[in-house]
């Protein structure tokens, strides 16, 4: 079942993120290249979820519950001026992957964008994320750009 996020979900969403983005996070890559920067990559990645779920964006965060357990989520940001809806983060815990939950969450997000008057939806995936590169085109997204991230130790 999909429902709108409530603040008591935040800790679980962060837990899911730390599990699911282990191999597919820019913050993690920076740590691998330069070592732990004071606080580990999870703290930096999980901080994104604070922004995604902040009051202004919270109505665009949706969670998937299986029984009592929250097993996946998707975050959405609206841009009323450009009419481009952005999905900064989504994840489904490994034990529940491959059962169509990600697809349902994405369909729900797209419906939310349409209802809010968005004309385009966008999402990014890393080159090192083979699932994202199947999942996104499979959901009807077209590739529009590739970006290279550089970092330099100071
Ligand atoms: C991406 C993610 C959310 C997909 O969630 P999911 O619930 O497993 O996805 P679904 O079961 O709905 O699968 C939808 C489609 O994604 C693709 N897919 C899912 N898992 C896949 C895998 N392991 N390998 C290749 N393609 C896969 C398939 O095209 C699938 O469609 P199909 O079942 O008709 O073949 C999940 O794998 C995840 O949390 N990954 C880690 C976090 C992440 O990468 N997030 C950003 C994604 S851009």
pLDDT at 53: 95
pLDDT at 56: 85
Is residue 151 situated within a structural domain? no
- Rounded CA-CA distance 110/60 in Å is 11
pLDDT at 121: 98
Span 14-54, pLDDT tens digits: 999 999 988 888 888 998 899 888 888 888 889 999 999 99
For tokens 């299986």, the residue is 66
Q: Tokens for 96?
A: 């529940």
DSSP 8-state class, residue 22: T
Is residue 154 situated within a structural domain? no
What is this structure's pTM? 0.95
CATH classification at residue 33: 3.40.630.30
Q: Is 103 in the pocket of ligand 1 (CB under 6 A)?
A: yes
> Following DSSP, what letter does each residue of 70-110 receive, concatenated?
EEEEEEEE--TTTTEEEEEEEEE-GGGTTSSHHHHHHHHHH
Are the beta carbons of 77 and 86 closer than 8 angstroms?
A: yes
**3-class SS of residue 67:** coil
Is residue 85 situated within a structural domain? yes
Domain assignment of residue 103, given as a range: 2-138
Going by C-alpha positions, the residue among 44, 42, 104, 108 that lies closest to residue 76 is 108
Is residue 150 situated within a structural domain? no
pLDDT at 38: 81
For tokens 């900064």, the residue is 88
| C-alpha R_g of the chain | 16
Are the beta carbons of 118 and 78 closer than 8 angstroms?
A: yes
Are the beta carbons of 103 and 139 closer than 8 angstroms?
A: yes
CA distances from 28 to 1, 22, 63 (A): 31, 7, 24
pLDDT at 44: 85
pLDDT at 25: 86
Are the beta carbons of 85 and 122 closer than 8 angstroms?
A: yes
Residue nearest to atom 22 of ligand 1 (CA): 131
Point out the ligand 1 atom lying closest to the alpha carbon of residue 123. 48
Separation of CA 107 and ligand 1 centre (Å): 13
Q: What is the total count of domains within the chain? A: 1
**Mutational test site, ligand 1, from 26, 76, 98, 108, max ligand atoms within 8 Å of CB:** 98
Residue nearest to atom 7 of ligand 1 (CA): 102
Q: Tokens for 148?
A: 């290279």
Q: Is 36 in the pocket of ligand 1 (CB under 6 A)?
A: no
Q: Is 125 in the pocket of ligand 1 (CB under 6 A)?
A: yes
Residues in the chain predicted with pLDDT less than 70, given as ranges, are: none
Is residue 144 situated within a structural domain? no
Separation of CA 9 and ligand 1 centre (Å): 22
């Amino acid at each position: 079942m999909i429902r709108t996020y409530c603040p008591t979900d935040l800790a679980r969403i962060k837990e899911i993120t730390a599990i699911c983005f282990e191999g597919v996070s820019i913050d993690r890559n920076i740590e691998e290249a330069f070592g732990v920067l004071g606080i580990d990559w999870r703290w930096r990645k999980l901080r994104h979820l604070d922004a995604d779920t902040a009051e202004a964006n919270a109505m665009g965060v949706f969670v998937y519950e299986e029984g009592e357990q929250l097993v996946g989520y998707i975050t959405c940001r609206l841009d009323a001026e450009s009419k481009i809806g952005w999905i900064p983060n989504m994840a489904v815990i490994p034990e529940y992957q491959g059962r169509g939950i990600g697809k349902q969450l994405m369909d729900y997000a797209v419906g939310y964008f349409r209802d809010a008057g968005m004309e385009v939806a966008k999402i990014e995936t890393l080159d090192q994320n083979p699932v994202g590169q199947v999942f996104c085109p499979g959901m009807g997204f077209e590739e529009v750009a590739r970006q290279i991230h550089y970092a330099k130790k100071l």
